[in-house]
């Protein structure tokens, strides 16, 4: 059971937009910044978003992040088949004193 809750799967057609939610409690998302990671099949996770909505160099602006209260959202526009992956949210949990992740959301581009 992950501390952060994500939907197990989402799907959309190429070119469309999809959002992935991540929710939890005030001891983690509510008071701290959220990051997002993309894990392509058989590879290590890759940072997509940090500090709720900042993109590292090299990440296209098709990827965006937002946070409201105890929930965060990853948005992906102009979906491509290469975006098929598992997406994880993460943050710091102040009460547990450790980094926590969501259970992951598998994105299928139909």
Partner 1 sequence: QVQLQESGPGLVKPSETLSLTCTVSGGSTSYAYWSWIRQPPGKGLEWIGYIYHSGSTAYNPSLESRVGISIDTSKTHFSLRLSSVTAADTAVYYCARQMYSYDSGAYSNWFDPWGQGTLVTVSS
Rounded least distance, CB 78 to partner 1, Å:
23
Asked if residue 65 lies in contact with residue 53, where contact means CB atoms within 8 angstroms, the answer is: yes
Residue 77 touching partner 1 (CB under 8 A): no
Tell how many helices (H) and how many strands (E) occur in the chain. Answer: 0, 9
Considering only CA atoms, which of 4, 23, 20, 13 is closest in space to residue 87? Answer: 20
Rounded least distance, CB 19 to partner 1, Å:
20
| H or E segment to which residue 83 belongs | none
Residue 73 touching partner 1 (CB under 8 A): no
# residues near partner 1 by CB under 8 A:
28
How is residue 12 written in tokens?
């959309």
| Piece of 12-20, 36-44, 74-82 that binds partner 1 (CB under 8 A) | 36-44
Return the number of the residue (8 or 13) whose C-beta is nearest partner 1: 8
């Amino acid at each position: 059971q992950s501390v952060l809750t994500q939907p197990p799967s989402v799907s959309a057609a190429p070119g469309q937009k999809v959002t992935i939610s991540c929710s939890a409690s005030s001891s983690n998302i509510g008071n701290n910044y959220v990051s997002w990671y993309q894990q392509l099949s058989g590879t290590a996770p890759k940072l997509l978003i940090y500090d709720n909505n900042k993109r590292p160099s090299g990440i296209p602006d098709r990827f965006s992040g937002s946070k409201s209260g105890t929930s965060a959202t990853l948005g992906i526009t102009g979906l491509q088949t290469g975006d098929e992956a598992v997406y994880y949210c993460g943050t710091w949990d102040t009460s547990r004193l450790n980094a926590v992740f969501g259970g992951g959301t598998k994105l299928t581009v139909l």
